[in-house]
Homo-oligomer: A and B are copies of this chain.
Amino acid sequence: MTRSRSRRANDAWESLLTAHASLMKRFAAEPIWGELTMREYDVLYTLSKHDGPVRLFELGRGVLLSQPALSRLVERLVERGLVERAADPEDGRGVRLALTAAGRERQRAVGGRHAVDVARAVTTALTEEEMRQLEAIGRKLAAQGVAVPTERNRQEAVL
C-alpha cells in the first residue's frame, strides 16, 4: 500500500470520527430524550427495525457496548416495561427480545423528535449528493467492519 493512499485512509477515518463525536454531543444535548439515555434509545431503535424477536448477540453487533453491559442494559429496559425478554424455543441458550407496546410507543415519540434534529443538522451541512455519498460510503465501511480478523490479530499485544 502506498504511503499517500494509507494517509488518505487515515485522514478520512479521522474525519468520520470527528464528525461522529461532534454531532453526537450536539444530539445528546437536545432535550428530547426523556428518561432514556442515547444508548438505551439505540437499543429500542434497533429493536424497532426488526419485526420479529431479536437475539441479544444480534443487538450487540450494532451497539458499541460489551456483551455484559448490553445484557444489563436490556435487563433494565425489561424492568421498566419497555422490552420483553423470553427464552428462545429454538436455542436453549438464547433469549428473544422485542419491544413492548410501551417500548414501541416510547421509541416512536423520541425517534420522531430525534429525526428532526438529525435532519436539521445533516441537511444544513450537506448537499443531497453528499448525503447519498455518505450513505453509500457508510454501508461499505460497515461491511468491512464485520470482516474476520486476520491471523496477525490473534497474537498477543506487544507493549
A155–B31 alpha-carbon span in the complex (Å): 7
A1 touches B135 (CB 8 A): no
Task: Pick from B15, B118, B134, B146: contact of A139, CB below 8 A.
Answer: B15
Task: Encode contact with B along A69-89: 1 for CB under 8 Å, 0 otherwise.
Answer: 000000000000000000000
The answer to the question of A63 belonging to the interface, with a C-beta cut-off of 8 Å to chain B, is yes
Which A residues fall within an 8 A CB radius of B? Answer: 1, 5-6, 8-26, 29-35, 61-64, 115-116, 118-126, 128, 130-147, 149, 153-159
Please provide the 9 A-B residue pairs with the shortest distance between their CB atoms, ordered closest to farther. A22-B145, A15-B138, A9-B122, A19-B141, A125-B144, A6-B119, A31-B157, A19-B138, A12-B131
